Structure 1
Amino acid sequence: MSETGSTSSSIAGHSLRHLRAFLAVVDTGSVTRAAEACFVSQPAVTQALSKIERTAGLPLFSRTPQRIFANAAGETLARRIARAFAYLDPALAELSPRLKMTATGAQLRSLIAVRETENFTLAAERLGVSQPAVYRAVSQLEEEASRPLFQRTSYGIVATRPAQALAQAAKLAFLELSQADADMAELTATECGEIVIGATPLAKSYTLPKAIAAFREVRPNLPLRIQEGPYGELMSALRRGELDFLVGALRIPPPTSDIEQRVLFHDSVVLVGGIQHPLSRSQKVTVEELASYPWVVSPKGTPIRRYFDSIFLDAQCPLPRNIVETGSLILMRELLDGTAHLGCTSRLQAEAEIKRGLMHALPFELGHTSRPIGVVLRKDWLPTAAQQTFLDLLSAHPTQRYNQIL
């Protein structure tokens, strides 16, 4: 779910001090003790609770003369806020213990923007504030940390390692707070935010369409945003919190330890040619014949490309020299239609093209190329109700369709 801005109509728009006071009230059951723990006045805590309840759109506490209790909605919100500070506080403490009490949301948003743009002016434009305001916010963090957070190079302003860690933690913390808005909307039978899905070519053509159609039957209005790109870029975006989850071919072993992979089904690789290609009429194709033609294949480092290379390496045959690298099935299809190129691609992705007579599967055995297709999540990620619904539908439909194919 994309990060919400710092408006008063969102949980993320409240000051970090107010959110800490809210958690303290939930933990202690007392406005007085929460005020003492947060070093603020009792009226300030009462005002913070009132503002947060107005933003949530429903009561968050039950009150008795002896104690204040978080109700179910309050517990739900407290869980999200606690998750946000679980990301944020260790990174703040690493720079300076005092930052846990002094850092503000505006300062952290400025840090994130400068880290990502590597420029104070561009960061200010992104945030919609003045350049001096961004510079001042970062300088305040640097003063509290007693160290510079950025190094100036000929290429721009580069964040130091502690600054990168804090910016990443803050980004994930703000993401949790945007998830809190979605949780509260769910309790009031409304919707907010969007679901952002990273998709590889197979996911776009095979896995996602049915899941999206089914999701629209139960959630007709919630925006969905599909972000395309190479696997490496999508994985980085997922880990930064810019994607809710990623759908595509899984990597074995997983590329990093902070992600979780869930298998949906298995796919295999197929070699294809145009309908008029000489090999399309063959009953059997040899590796030497394959090596003599130009190819359209996935980029290096992808699972399909490794399978393609292994065809020739296992046969001790030189790899084809004439290769076009692309993840686009459309480009592959057009090249196959008008030239002697052959293609190596996902069997499920090519299935519709083959059935429509737009390309032909070559008679070459690749049964050993089974590979898992699935969903990649950040470890310990807590989905909203809408996100969980989409994941459930995603898990159901590809398996059903794949079984029908078999």
Structure 2
Amino acid sequence: MSVIWTLNLRHLQALIRVAEVQSVSAAADAANLTQPAITKAIAGIERKLNCKLFVRMSDGMQPTECATILIRRVKRALAFISNNKVSLTHMRALIELSEAGSYKLAQVRTGLAASALHRSVNDLSAILGYNLVKKVGNRIILSGQGKRYYNRCKLAKTELETGLYEVQGHQGRWAGLIRVGAMPLSRAKLLPAAVSAFHKIHPDVRVSVMEGSRAELYDPLCNGDLDFLLGALRPEVEAGPVEQELLFYDKPVIVARKNHPLAGKKNLREADYAKYPWIVAGAGTPIRKLWAGLFSEGNLPQTPVECGSIMTIRELLLEGDFLSLVSKDQLRAELELDWVSILDVPALSEQRPIGITTRDDWFPSPIQTDFIHLLRGAVNQ
């Protein structure tokens, strides 16, 4: 179980208040808690985090750097929760129910009684003033408002977890997890180079890579399951409530097997490559749009295979007369082994922007900043 579920939001709010007024007694009045209760709460947080949060001075309680780091994240979490009656117990019940799909499975995941989870979700619905869940067949699913609040709870959880990791890091015990959403091109060269360099600097920090298309990775980014996406960027009007950082421009190439009828021929035109079957990327992707731009209106060739897996594309290319539009880096090994050829197509001049996509409200931790810095450096390797 994550340490954050052992904490108490009221205690964390009291921690903020003590830091603001630098007095336990003044904070007790504001938080409607007794002085002993606040003192005990702070001691409990210090014990769980294994750090000192305040130093008693002649002019009051001075927060330590650990307290300052933690408070910054707690404030961000509270902004996502946006209701001072909501507890971490409520949050956990909603998150676990949503991800398990039923109270029974949530009970198995957490070890908590199904009745307690049910009560917490119902209490949270009453606090917020709307139904969070609805039953469809044998499954419990979130309502529209429930999905939106689930996302806010996930982001709040992420902020609190990041705060705990940052406190550990300040004490010289960097740990935690970097969570990357990797689109196809980024997995070829850029991401492995950054991961390798990062591991040398932070050997105790894990890197989790979730592979997929942007459509598959976008929701996990928005709810905090991913820290950032790496891959093709979208035009601003399509990007959504995110921030994008350009790393480089990629010029895709048309590839075929080494002995393909078009291999080695110069100045290929539309009539040449339009008569062969193509392996194309998914509809709506930037590279699919670049591919469509190679053909005159109404003259698109056969596309019997839609695929984003470079391993599948490679095998199909080697077994037949397929053509595909890919990044050169994605088939670097195959090109070096002389298994495939790049076709000479002068009409292919468009480029696609490749970079980092983050939530527009993302506040990276020091180790996340380190990883982003290494990604930037890997571009020129």
Report the CA distance between 1:256 and its aligned residue. Answer: 4.5
Question: In structure 2, which of residues 351, 360, 365 is the aligned counterpart of residue 379 of structure 1?
Answer: 360
| 2:20 corresponding residue in structure 1 | 27
Residue identity opposite 2:337 in structure 1: R
Counterparts of 1:206 and 1:359, CA distance in 2 = 18
* 3-state SS of paired residue (1:292): coil
* 3-state SS of paired residue (1:319): coil
Counterparts of 2:113 and 2:138, CA distance in 1 = 22
Percent identical among aligned pairs is 33
Aligned CA distance change for structure 1 residues 52 and 63 (closer, same or farther; 3 Å): same
| 2:313 corresponding residue in structure 1 | 332
Q: Confirm or deny that 1:54 pairs with 2:47.
A: yes
| 2:266 corresponding residue in structure 1 | 283
* 3-state SS of paired residue (2:361): coil
Q: Confirm or deny that 1:83 pairs with 2:84.
A: no
Q: Confirm or deny that 1:121 pairs with 2:104.
A: yes
Question: In structure 2, which of residues 124, 144, 156 is the aligned counterpart of residue 141 of structure 1?
Answer: 124
Do the aligned residues in 2 keep the contact of 1:11 with 1:55 (CA within 8 Å)?
no
Q: Confirm or deny that 1:154 pairs with 2:137.
A: yes
Report the CA distance between 1:302 and its aligned residue. Answer: 0.9
Report the CA distance between 1:133 and its aligned residue. Answer: 1.6
Deviations 1:87-108 (A, max 9, x none): 111xx3xxxxxxx13x221121
Report the CA distance between 1:351 and its aligned residue. Answer: 3.5
TM-score (norm 2): 0.95
* Structure 1 range deviating more: 10-19 or 302-311: 10-19
TM-score (norm 1): 0.89
Report the CA distance between 1:249 and its aligned residue. Answer: 0.5
Question: In structure 2, which of residues 203, 209, 213 is the aligned counterpart of residue 220 of structure 1?
Answer: 203
Counterparts of 1:382 and 1:395, CA distance in 2 = 18
Counterparts of 1:168 and 1:345, CA distance in 2 = 34
Do the aligned residues in 2 keep the contact of 1:57 with 1:184 (CA within 8 Å)?
no
The 5 A counterparts of 1:289-308 are 289-308=272-291
The 5 A counterparts of 1:6-405 are 6=2, 10-89=3-82, 92=83, 100-101=84-85, 103-154=86-137, 156-253=139-236, 255-312=238-295, 315-316=296-297, 318-398=299-379, 400-401=380-381
Structure 2: segments with no counterpart, 5+ residues: none
- Whichever structure has more helix as a proportion of its residues is 1
Report the CA distance between 1:290 and its aligned residue. Answer: 1.1
Do the aligned residues in 2 keep the contact of 1:11 with 1:52 (CA within 8 Å)?
no
Aligned CA distance change for structure 1 residues 352 and 28 (closer, same or farther; 3 Å): same
Deviations 1:341-364 (A, max 9, x none): 111112332344323212100000
Do the aligned residues in 1 keep the contact of 2:269 with 2:347 (CA within 8 Å)?
no
Calculate the aligned-residue CA RMSD, in Å: 1.8
Counterparts of 2:94 and 2:237, CA distance in 1 = 30
Do the aligned residues in 2 keep the contact of 1:273 with 1:361 (CA within 8 Å)?
yes
